[in-house]
Amino acid sequence: MTGLSALFRKGPGGLFTFWNVVFALCLAMIAVLLLRPISEVFVVGFIDPDSGAFTLTNYVRVLTRPYYLAALRNTLVVGGGGALGACIIGVPLAYFVARFRVKGRNVISTVAVLALVSPPFIGAYSWILVLGSNGWITRLLRAWGIAFPSIYGTPGIILVFTLKFFPFVYLMTEGALRSVNRSYEEAAANLGCAPLSRFFRITLPLVFPAVSSGAILAFVLSIADFGTPAVIGRNANTLSTIAYNQYTSEMGGTPSIAVAISMLMIVISMAAVFLQRYFLGKRRYAGAFTNLPEQKPLSGLFGILVYGFCALVVLFAALPMIVVFYTSLLATNGPVFTGAFGLSSYQRVWRELPNVVGNSFLFSLAAVAMISLTSAFISYVVVRRETWLAGLLDSLLMVPYVVPGVVMAIGFTLTFNKPPVDLIGTALIIILVVFIRRLPYGVRSTSSILRQIKPSIEEAAINLGSPPAKAFLKVTVPIMIPGIIVGAMMSFITAINELSSTLLLYTGATATMPVKIYAAVLDGEFGLAAALSTILLVSSGICVFVVFRLSENREGAFV
Amino acid sequence: MKKAFCMMAALAAMTLYASPPARAADGKVIVYTAAPQEIVDKIVPAFEKKTGIKVELVKAGAGELINRLKAEKGRQTADVIWSVGGDILQANPDLLGTYTPAGADKVFPEVKPTGKWTPFTLIATSFIINTSMLAPADRPRTWQDLANPKYKGKISIARLDKSSSSYIQLAALLQIDGLDKGWDLYSRILDNTQLANSSGAVPKFVNDGEAAIGICNEDVGLLYKNGGGPVEVIYPADGTTAQADGMAMLATPANPAAGKAYLDFALSVEGQTLVASVGRRPVRMDVPALASLAPLSSMKLVNYNLEWAAGYQKTALAKWNDIIMSK
């Protein structure tokens, strides 16, 4: 570290101060890893794949052909359905838990967080195991002579998204409901407003920012998700599955149509985010920390209904995890379940796929190490330097939220496919794509803790003669460590569950667990998929535990 | 604290510099394959046990594998492509190296190795039918029958851009009926079809009752029938074809010796006997096919022109794309 500090011990007013250099490096990194791939995607969309000339035909084709329009419609339907479903479950659950003395609140929030961190495609395939055409319940009902409607297609996708994303709405809304000023509701009650109408006319509007943030998040993540429609969608294509299909059929040539579809996805996500900002901007909300609402006791029929509702939600949200764990313990003979219990699926993982498990951990750890390192510096720049450039950096970090993984991966293959930077088929390209996609999670976590640290401590160190780099590393970073660890855990969870971008970038030597699970599910190898999924879920669960221990606002860290 | 920070930096740096060897190979062979899992489970463990060479598989549809290879051209990402349609290999000679495995002289003379690629097995195109969904009188017998509107939404076919067996089905149909009538018929069949993402999924959908009829390779259909599923495998009465799926060295293998060993094993008596045991027709004259397979002489076989089929593939794909994009 002495070498480093000597390096940056230039005059305090010079251009090449430590933080200026860090700032420049951050911007350069974002330019290369984020802006360049996205602009490649943007440009290629306007290029004729045969002649290389400028053209609008790619977009015209995507916006006129029935095949693409059907996918666009499906995307909006499952995105809207997922968001709506998340609200229908999340808002009542939040209201019950926040306003009544519901026992087992910790169980509900733990299951919600676990549902949130488990990859959606695992949910999709466990619902196939239960309600698919050969699923347990389907077979049971068939034995009784009841025909069960198909779960495949948009209904299945919406079911999975609802149960996957309701925790966003629940966790955000619950926090908001707890901090609403009680007097508004009491005033309405005194004026004779009935409880139900009071909820819709007073309470719900007051927590609208939280509900809408959760819903928009569910919408954006739903339309970007690849694994769920690919596994359970069958003939119902969404933009992300046709972007992937189109990309694989254009591979080796120019993926013009695939990028045109990609741009469409980005536009929809951005429109959703801006729409929400616009609605929020028109109203003013005052957070109140006085006169907080009280929790009422539950009794009678209403109490039974509330508990029944909570229990059902917990059961449905936890079902994929239970199914996956149970299935992983069934003995298999090839793709066929023998009916007995056994560890043969784990033995197959151990025998055939140890490198895949190793890859997953190696890539995720590498990406997380880079994220932790970079986000410490970036959040310092963003939080402590209130220039417009720092503001720009902050807004640029919003971009990975609205760019679907499939699109980011296509951008990477377009950018890093020829010397001097030829990364196709390497582990590095997977690590880098995961890094840039998950960097915002790390930055958000470190920024929030940095905002609570007074700059004066660090300034004192500098006044006493310490160089800025040393002051940052020896004074500020140690205080930031809990935030860095929480950020690292959050990034690790999302990194190890990443499917949509890695599926386009992997080769034989760089396959990861989600990629193999996806392939195994398509092949009907449900035992193998279940064993790998259990390993993923347990890894994520351990990280959740660490975050719970380190974070003051346990569930808040996840939304 | 500083230590932890330095370690993280070191770890990040290490992975940055240590990642390129992910491409290198030692004592392992990287195989791109569209083979069904039953064949993988027979061949791969037997090969690993015999040679001590570890097999790393990339499984995808033939179309996707070929496109991956085009995108990865010049890089040593894989050694061997194994069990994809002969047409697609014939159509992409520049992706392949040259190697003729040991035992090539024992192969049926109709499907001789070309020097670039070698046939691995023979597969006849068949219809798989869910017997509990369709009464015997309702079952289709010919390609023409498949276009009957009463089968709307009941047929499963793998996507042409993913599956090389799908292309062989189409190419056979075009050679039975001629280009114009053939495309018209195929397009009307597509009106009745739910596309599957892989040819392996087609018989599964039929077995599980998600589709009543599937067009698929006979061996996978037979697996479900022999496993007790409510399915029947029939060969279209107006013509079918038995084509080779092939295997080849790639143009830039990372481990050529291991690749050659793999191809040799796949064509050996041992390897061919293993594939015969799961219902594939072996290409070696000295290895018998499974008795439950209908003899080729019982089918109406079309005179299949592989050269033409390989050359027409790109046009066919564009035309297919055009048809499904407009539906």
| Model confidence band, residue B23 (pLDDT cutoffs 50, 70, 90) | very low
Percent of chain B with pLDDT over 90: 53
* CA distance to partner chain A, nearest, from residue B325 (Å): 5
What pLDDT is recorded for position B147? Answer: 95
Q: Record the pTM.
A: 0.82
Chain A residues whose CB is inside 8 A of the B323 CB are none
Residue A416's identity, in one-letter code, is: F
**Phi, psi at residue A512, to the nearest 5°?**
-120, 175
What pLDDT is recorded for position A476? Answer: 84
> Is A212 in CB contact (< 8 Å) with chain B?
no
Q: Which of B9, B67, B227 sits opposite A252 (nearest CB)?
A: B67
Whole-number mean pLDDT of chain B? 87
d(CA B17, CA A479): 31
d(CA A262, CA A41): 8
> Is A67 in CB contact (< 8 Å) with chain B?
yes
> Is A465 in CB contact (< 8 Å) with chain B?
no
Mean pLDDT computed over B288-298: 87
Torsion, Cα B163 B165 B169 B174, to 10 degrees, reads 70
Mutate to test the interface with A, among B1, B3, B14, B23 (most CBs of A within 10 A): B23
Which segments of A192-292 does DSSP mark as H helices, in order?
195-198, 204-206, 208-224, 227-232, 239-250, 256-282
Tokens representing residue A20 in the block: 């200026």
Handedness of CA A539, A545, A546, A548 (dihedral sign): positive
| Model confidence band, residue B8 (pLDDT cutoffs 50, 70, 90) | low
Collapsing DSSP to helix, strand or coil, A170 comes out as: helix
Q: Which of A7-21, A312-326, B6-20, B84-98 has the lowest mean pLDDT?
A: B6-20
d(CA B157, CA A235): 12
Contact B232, B135 (CB under 8 A): no
Q: How far is CA A333 from the centre of its chain?
A: 35
Q: Burial, A92: exposed, middle or buried (Cβ in 10 Å; 0-12, 13-18, 19+)?
A: middle
Chain B residues whose CB is inside 8 A of the A425 CB are 22-23, 72, 75, 77
What pLDDT is recorded for position A90? Answer: 94
> Is A457 in CB contact (< 8 Å) with chain B?
no
d(CA A337, CA A327): 9
Angle (deg, nearest 10), helices A427-450 and A354-384: 40
Q: Please give the residue of chain A at the shortest CA–CA distance from B57.
A: A508
What pLDDT is recorded for position A412? Answer: 92
ipTM: 0.71
Q: Report residues of chain A scoring pLDDT below 70.
A: 1-15, 251-253, 281-291, 333-336, 551-559
Q: Which of A1, A365, A523 sits opposite B11 (nearest CB)?
A: A365
What pLDDT is recorded for position B2? Answer: 52
**Phi, psi at residue A508, to the nearest 5°?**
-50, -40
Tokens representing residue B279 in the block: 């219902």
| Model confidence band, residue B197 (pLDDT cutoffs 50, 70, 90) | confident
Say whether pLDDT at B151 is over 80: yes
What pLDDT is recorded for position A555? Answer: 64
* CA distance to partner chain B, nearest, from residue A28 (Å): 18
Q: Which of B15, B37, B58 sits opposite A507 (nearest CB)?
A: B58
What pLDDT is recorded for position B196? Answer: 87
Integer angstrom CA distances of residue A302 from A87, A94, A228, A307, A309? 21, 16, 36, 9, 10
What CATH superfamily is the domain A85-325? MetI-like (1.10.3720.10)
What pLDDT is recorded for position B25? Answer: 41
- Domain B21-122+243-289: assigned CATH number: 3.40.190.10
Mean pLDDT computed over B289-309: 88
Interchain proximity A334–B38, CB inside 8 Å: yes
Say whether pLDDT at B5 is over 70: no
Q: Does domain A1-36+329-559 have CATH number 1.20.1730.10?
A: no
| Model confidence band, residue B70 (pLDDT cutoffs 50, 70, 90) | confident
**Phi, psi at residue B80, to the nearest 5°?**
-135, 145
Nearest Cα neighbor of A164 from A211, A94, A117 is A117
A117 HSE (CA, 13 A, CB side): 29
> Is A86 in CB contact (< 8 Å) with chain B?
no
What pLDDT is recorded for position A207? Answer: 86
Indicate the domain borders of chain A: 1-36+329-559, 85-325
d(CA B114, CA B180): 31
Tokens representing residue B252 in the block: 């830039």
**Phi, psi at residue B257, to the nearest 5°?**
-60, -45
Handedness of CA A552, A553, A554, A558 (dihedral sign): negative
What pLDDT is recorded for position A253? Answer: 66
**Phi, psi at residue B249, to the nearest 5°?**
-70, 150
Q: For tokens 């067009």, name the residue.
A: B215
A residues 320-349 lying closer than 8 A (beta carbon) to B: 334-336
d(CA B164, CA A257): 22
**Phi, psi at residue B31, to the nearest 5°?**
-115, 125
Integer angstrom CA distances of residue A444 from A56, A269, A440, A491, A493? 38, 20, 6, 11, 15
Mean pLDDT computed over B214-232: 88
Nearest Cα neighbor of B211 from A150, A67, A144, A138 is A150
What pLDDT is recorded for position A178? Answer: 82
What pLDDT is recorded for position A115? Answer: 87
Chain A residues whose CB is inside 8 A of the B9 CB are 369, 373
Interchain proximity A366–B12, CB inside 8 Å: yes
Which pLDDT tens digit goes with each residue over B132-141? 899 999 999 9
Indicate the domain borders of chain B: 21-122+243-289, 123-242+299-325
Say whether pLDDT at B18 is over 60: no
Which pLDDT tens digit goes with each residue over B31-54? 999 998 889 888 999 999 999 998
Q: How many CB pairs under 8 A join A and B?
A: 147
- Domain B123-242+299-325: assigned CATH number: 3.40.190.10
What pLDDT is recorded for position A482? Answer: 80
Angle (deg, nearest 10), helices A300-328 and A120-131: 100
What pLDDT is recorded for position B264? Answer: 95
Contact A468, A8 (CB under 8 A): yes
